[in-house]
Structures are given as structure tokens and as C-alpha cells.
Chain A
Amino acid sequence: MNLQFVADGLAMGAMIGLGAIGLTLTYSILRFANFVHGEFIAWGAYTGLVVANGLIVLSPKSGSFGPFSFGWALLIGLFAAMLCGVALALLVDKFAFKQLRMQSNTIVLVIASFGLSLALRSLLEFFVTSQPAYYSRDIQMAVPLGLGVRVTPDQLLVLALAAGLLVVVHVILTRTHAGRAMRAFSENPLLAEVAGIDGAAVVRMTWALGGALAAASGVMLGITVQIRPTMGFDMLLPLFAAAILGGIGSVPGAVMGGLIIGLAEAGGVQLFGGSYRAAVAFLILIAVLLVRPNGLFGRRP
């Protein structure tokens, strides 16, 4: 076994972590397991694709940055993707969950989110077909890092970008009123209302943040792997496993969980081949539920 899996696992883990942050936040604030979250990833990735390709058609000479496979076009695409994630999340909340929250119990929300995720995925597949797509067809040269580990410049950039977004999220949650309001609301919604926090606004903020992060991780997934309509659905199990492993509601936990799942998946792929990648997340999920159901950083018993 060589150490290559560490590099691949960290890159993948960073993307899982980004997605899991949104999942853990919506879970702890809206209090239901939201299956739509995967679709923010896929819709984000395709928005990035459409915008980036559009820009390249408009200005074919825009080219790419240094050793990377993409340039300004995709950076703008990433921004557009995050906006799409926000918009989609807010729409989904306004037209489906808001009404359901008022009249049904949690579990009806879960099944509605499951159905909505399938519907969104089918719709996406209708528009873009089930063929995989790529932001760039160029094959990237992997650079040796020593110890037999090789990484592509794109992988490194994705890691850096994910780290940057994590810092932003951390600052939002600990240094801004919006972030404190979200934490307060997730801990105790009634007390938060008493302290003057508008719960409806917190819910919207949570959806927006989660949607943006998921869409960003979708674009990164598209840069380092490929873009498919099912990419978000395929990420759901790793995302849930990461969120539960980290402890529902814990943002650092979601990131740690994501990295652990990413590393375990990459290790598993190196040992057993890629066919059973998704089973790794499942095994970790089962182990966590058996041994430590509150996760690494879980709050309540």
C-alpha cells in the first residue's frame, strides 16, 4: 500500500466535508435529514459548466491559469454555481418545506425531500442527458510530491479552495451575528426567539449557506472527477456518514468526518478497487451508529 490514497482521500474528503457542513447545519436547524442536499451539488456543478462554457464561447482566448486546467471562466462559473445553490435552496424551502413544516411531522419532510431530490435529479437528467461531462478535456500531469505520492495541480487547488471556504464559514459562524444566530437557533429555537432572533430568517440563511457550499463542492467534484446528473445522489451517503460521524450540528465535526470518509474511501479503492467505494461510507456509518451514535463532536446524548 503506498501513500497515494492520502492525497486522493484528502481532496475527496475536503469536498465531502464542504457538502456535509450544509447538511449538518440544515439537519440541526431544520431538524430533518434533507435528501435534497445532494441535488444542490449536481445542479451547482452543471451551472458552473453552462456558465463556464458560455464564457469560453464568448471569449475563446480566455485560456487557463498556469498549471491548472481552467481559467477565469470557471471561476466565474463557480460563483454562478454558488448563487444557483442559494437560489435552489431558497426555492425548495419556500415552495415545499415551508408549508410542510407547518402542517406535518419531521418524517414527512424527509420523504418529501427524498421525492424532491429524485424529481430534481430527473429534471436535470432531462436537460443534460445522463452522459458524463467535463469542465476541461485536457489531461493533467500529476506532480510527484515525494513518498510515491502524486497530485494534480487541480487537486491541490481544490484543497486550497476548500480550506479557504472553511475559514470563511468559520468566521461567519463565530464572528458574525448571522452565524451566532444560527448556532443559537440550532441549540435552542425557543430561547433564540425570546432573545430576538427571527427563526424564519435563520432558516433561510441556513438553506442559503448550505446550498452555496454544496454547489461549490459540486464544481470542485467536477474539476477533479467528472460531472454527472447522479453525482449529487452518489454523494449523499458519504455526506450523511460524515455529518453523523462528526456529530450532527458540529461544523468542525462535519469537516473531520468528511476527511475521514474521504481517506477511508481512497484507501478502500486502493485495496479493493473502485466498485465498492460507496460501501465504505456505509460501513463507517454503521460503525458510528453502533459505537458512538452521537459522533465525534456530538452535543446531546
Chain B
Amino acid sequence: MTAPILEATRIVAGYEPGLPIVRGASIAAKAGEITAILGPNGAGKSTLIKAIAGLVLVSSGKITLADADITETPAHQHIRQGLAFVPQTENVFAGMSVEENLKIAVHILPKAARADRLEKTFALFPDLARQRQLLAGRLSGGQRQMLAAARALVVEPRVLMLDEPSAGLSPKFVASVFAKLVEIRQIGVAIVLVEQNVRAALAIADRAYVLVEGENRHEGTARDLANDPNVAALYFGAHTERAA
């Protein structure tokens, strides 16, 4: 058993003081694995990974990255420590070209390494390589998600967190985005994936957490959770409630 590279323990976080959205949730992610965070709408999944990324104030709990405490680290330092984050929406700079989007990100590396990484990333995303000068705002939805992931990956982070990369994409693009995640896992990156699309997420994930009302409700291997009637009930139940 390898030790997790990213650990968030008993996180309490929210947008306004005294109104916690995440109430004590904990997750851990290992290198070379996909860790899925699932849960109904409004469960606090996005808030949890934004808190880990330093974008939401954490009022208690501890976040460690490779044993370094990053709970108090300012957001712009995370990527330098190897923690990359792709927000759910507005995750590319629409007014800048594809290449500029990547150049901004790669700047944290030493000058000598930048061009090389840029080309490596374009090799990983051949679709983007063909449209270097195109404004990111003109990319299709799926390509935009690719660019957002590429922007995060260009610095070769140890952990990649994505918030619903499949949202709003047609099934064909969902498949290609997920296939790309599997490819990235092989490089040894720890992937944290927030998803609504439970079936698809559990199909590629290694481990998963189910969050409800800001707390861990279930956790385990993806296979166990996929077969757990309680998890199914959570989603199935939510549907019947809505139907009633």
C-alpha cells in the first residue's frame, strides 16, 4: 500500500462565516489512481475541492500534499507545489489564444524547461496543437475541457483535480475526456474527479467518496461502491423523490 499524496482531513469550509457548506468531509488521493467524489446536487463537492485549491476559506481541518501542510498556502502557490485544479466553468481564458493559455501556466517553471513542456503537452493533446493561435473562447465545449486540463497538466503536477469535466458535453466528448484521464493516470498523476455522472465516473475510478450535506456518506473502492445498494439508493432515491 502506498501512502496517499493528497489528504484533506475533516475539512470545514464555506462562503460566509458561520455558514459551513463542507462540514467535516475527508478525502485522500494516491498517485496513479483516479479518486472520484460523488454526491447529489448541492452536497458541497465543488466547495470541497475549491477549498483544497485554496479558493474557499477553510475554517478548520488540515490539507497535506506529500506530507507538506498546505492548508494556509495562498491559491497561486498550489500549482508550484504540484497541485493543479480545473474549475467546472470558465476554466480557460476565453480572450486569449490556446497557446497563451498554456504559456501563462508554464511560466512557473524555469525558463529552460518551458518550451519543452509546452511541446510535450501539445503532443498529449494533438487537437489543441492544431489550433494554437485560436482564441480559447472559440473552441468547442469538449476542446475547451481539453485545454483546461492541458493548462493544468503543462507543469506536470502530482495531483490533478477536476470539477465535473463531463458537464455539458455530448456523450462522444465525455468518452474522449474520460479516456484522456485514464491516459493521464498512467503517467502517475493522482487524479481527483468530481462527477455527477456516477456510472461513468465509477467505471474509470479506483476509489470513490460519496458526499452528502458536506459530510462523507460512503467511501471505498469504485467497484464496491458501484455494487453497493445504499449508493444506488441514494441516487435512485433522489430520482424517485423528484418524480413524486
Contacts and interface: CB of A to CB of B under 8 A. Distances in A.
Contacts of B95: 183, 187, 299
Interface residues of B, number: 28
A193 interface: yes
A183 B91 CA distance: 15
Contacts of A169: none
A197 interface: yes
Contact of A184 (B74, B79, B91, B93): B93
7 contacts: A180-B104, A183-B96, A184-B96, A194-B84, A195-B79, A195-B105, A198-B74
Interface in A182-197: 183-184, 187-188, 190-197
B100 interface: yes
A191 B108 contact: no
Interface string A160-198: 000000000000000001001101100110111111111
B90 interface: yes
A187 B76 contact: no
Given A177-B107, A180-B103, A191 B79 contact: no
Contact of A196 (B87, B91, B105): B105
Interface string B131-170: 0000000000000000000010001000000000000000
B91 A187 contact: no
Given A183-B95, A190-B55, A199-B76, A177 B85 contact: no
B53 to A, nearest CB: 6
A197 B155 CA distance: 14
Contacts, number: 65
A183 B108 contact: no
Contact of B93 (A177, A187, A196): A187
Nearest to A201: B76
B226 to A, nearest CB: 31
A191 B80 contact: no
A181 to B, nearest CB: 7
Given A177-B104, A177-B107, A197 B93 contact: no
Nearest to A190: B55
Of A194, A196, A198, most B-chain CB atoms within 10 Å: A194
A187 B151 contact: no
Interface in B92-125: 92-96, 100, 103-105, 107-108
A197 B108 CA distance: 9
A195 B74 CA distance: 12
Contacts of A191: 87, 90-93
Contacts of A190: 55, 75, 87
B96 A194 contact: no
B176 to A, nearest CB: 23
Contacts of A198: 74, 76
Most buried by A among B80, B104, B155: B104
Interface string A103-144: 000000000000000000000000000000000000000000
Nearest to B75: A193
Contact of B100 (A180, A188, A199): A180
A183 B93 contact: yes
A199 B93 CA distance: 15
Interface in B59-90: 74-80, 84-85, 87, 90
A133 B104 CA distance: 46
Given A196-B79, A196-B80, A198-B76, A187 B94 contact: yes
A193 B93 contact: no
Nearest to B86: A194
B100 A194 contact: no
Interface string A225-243: 0000000000000000000
B93 A188 contact: yes
Nearest to A199: B76
Nearest to B103: A180
B55 A193 contact: yes
Given A183-B93, A193-B55, 16 more contacts: A177-B104, A181-B104, A183-B95, A183-B96, A184-B93, A190-B87, A191-B92, A194-B53, A194-B84, A195-B79, A196-B105, A196-B108, A196-B155, A197-B76, A197-B104, A198-B76
A180 B96 contact: yes
For B74, B92, B107, the residue with the greatest tally of chain A CB atoms inside 10 Å of its CB is B107
Contacts of A177: 103-104, 107
A177 B105 CA distance: 10
B85 A194 contact: yes
B107 to A, nearest CB: 5
A194 B75 contact: yes
